[in-house]
Amino acid sequence: MLSFAGQVAIVTGSGRGIGRATALALGKRGAKVLVNDYGGGFDTLTPGTNEVAQSVVDEIVAAGGEAVADGTAVGTGESARVIVESAMKSFGRVDILVNNAGGSRPFHNVDEDADENLEGVIRSNLIGSLMLMRRVWPIMRDQNYGRIVNTSSNTVLGQQGMLAYVAAKGGIIGISGSAAIEGGPLGILVNTIFPQAYTRSVDDTAEPGTMDWFKSHTPELVAEGVAFLCSRECNVSGELFRIGGGRFSRYGIYGNKGVADAELTAEFVAERFDQSRDMADAEIVPDAAYDMARFNSALASDWQSELKSDWRK
């Protein structure tokens, strides 16, 4: 069994669902866990209670582990400070951050729902994760060690009626990639997940009766994959993983060679549009620097070849 002995984890949104399962998975392997959950609704607006987080703490303690409850709602720099300070006061360090907290609204078309409701979704999903990374960063930097797992969603590939949620989850991929580049030399690894599990979010968003088959996709099957990404044994960073239903796989953004002409015109593209979309020679694009070098290498000029060789130095 993987061991997290001597390590401290913050797991947000861990009162229920995937977050709860993750807190339990880390706790049973020896991690001291700050169980964060504001105890409210998945809509990010319903008032909550600290009892939700405390119930998970009680489970961890009953199993012989150590944990404390925190009922702070994520979404601001101040709330992130409170959460991290609570972990430091209780345990003296932070080795792991799992940004699991988030929420969504019932389906609305692009121009529907109130601005403040959409802003709440973005705060809970994106701003909360960003601010918590910022608050644990100096602690992990001083330790020369850290593991951060950020929760995105496959809805970023396109999902009707969830505009703010999709925007926030797309942002998660971006901030994770940037933090991974900066964190590498510091011993801080940052990865992102697309989770899939039967939770209350499914009940809130799916049509009744359409997801009965989905109930075998338990939160625990996601949490076990997250636990590995939080471990010392994980040695990759800046990657995206799809986890759920017993499956663990890497996802990525791919780019092909495309077509190029120094004097590109709309007509040139029209004639070669199918060729430009052909993914036969596509490869994964891990970051913006690689993308820039790879893209520019297809352009015929002396300075481009120099850029390709020097860009990542």
Which amino acid is residue 239, in one-letter code? E
How many helices (H) and strands (E) the chain has is answered by: 12, 10
The answer to whether 117 and 56 are in contact (CB under 8 A) is no
* Catalytic (active-site) positions: 165
The answer to whether 19 and 101 are in contact (CB under 8 A) is yes
Give the residue among 37, 29, 44 at the shortest CA–CA distance from 11: 37
**DSSP reduced 3-state for 242:** strand
Using CB atoms within 10 Å of the CB of residue 93, give its burial: 0 to 12 exposed, 13 to 18 middle, 19+ buried: middle
The helix-helix angle for 51-62 and 17-27 (nearest 10°) equals 30
The length of the chain is 313
3-class SS string, 86-111: HHHHHHCCCCEEEECCCCCCCCCCCC
The answer to whether 206 and 164 are in contact (CB under 8 A) is no
> CA dist 23 to 107, 149, 175, 309, Å?
29, 13, 23, 44
